[in-house]
Structure formats: structure tokens, C-alpha cells
Amino acid sequence: MELGKLSKLFFSVIGGMSVLSGILALILINIAVLTGINVIMDDLYFSLMWMTFMLGIIAVFPKSSRSFGMRGLLLGIYLFVFISVTFIVGWWIYPFP
């Protein structure tokens, strides 16, 4: 296999992993919201969110995997904004536990 083809495949796999980790983090948020089980603050969720960011940043640079990288980055940004807004609104409604 040529080095160019292997490089394209490598970055495409990294971009796909970025998107999949973002979708898995969204699934964890939905489980937490629908069932009331507090898995949002779990280490798995935050590691998935940062993995989505980092793999998305790596996958954005080559042209062959740019769409996967952008999707991963946008999912990561959405996850960060969702958790931030949820925390801020929760703190605003009930400021002192």
C-alpha cells in the first residue's frame, strides 16, 4: 500500500472516531436526561468530549478527512455548550445546594 493511501485511510479513521465518540457522548447525555441517572459528570463523558475535540482537530488538517473532522469538532462544541448552559441555568435557578 502506498504511503499516501495509508495516510488518507489513517486520517479518515481518526475523523470517524471523532464523530463516533461525539455521538456516544450524546447518547450518554440522552440517557442521563431521560432516566435521571447522573452519568453526565462521569469521567467517561468528559474523556469522550475531549477525545472528540482532539481527534477532530487532527482530522481537520488533511483535505481527505476534513468533513469528518469538522463534524467531530462541531459535535464537541455542541457538547461543551450544552453542558455549560445546563450548568449555568441550573445554578441560576437553584444557586445554593
- The C-alpha torsion from 44 through 48 and 50 to 54, rounded to 10°, is 140
pLDDT in tens, 7-53: 788 888 999 999 999 999 888 888 888 887 765 566 777 888 888 88
More confident residue, 95 or 39: 95
pLDDT in tens, 40-50: 566 777 888 88
List the chain domain ranges. Answer: 13-93
What DSSP character marks residue 36? -
- Which residue, 86, 96, 75, 92, is CA-closest to 21? 75
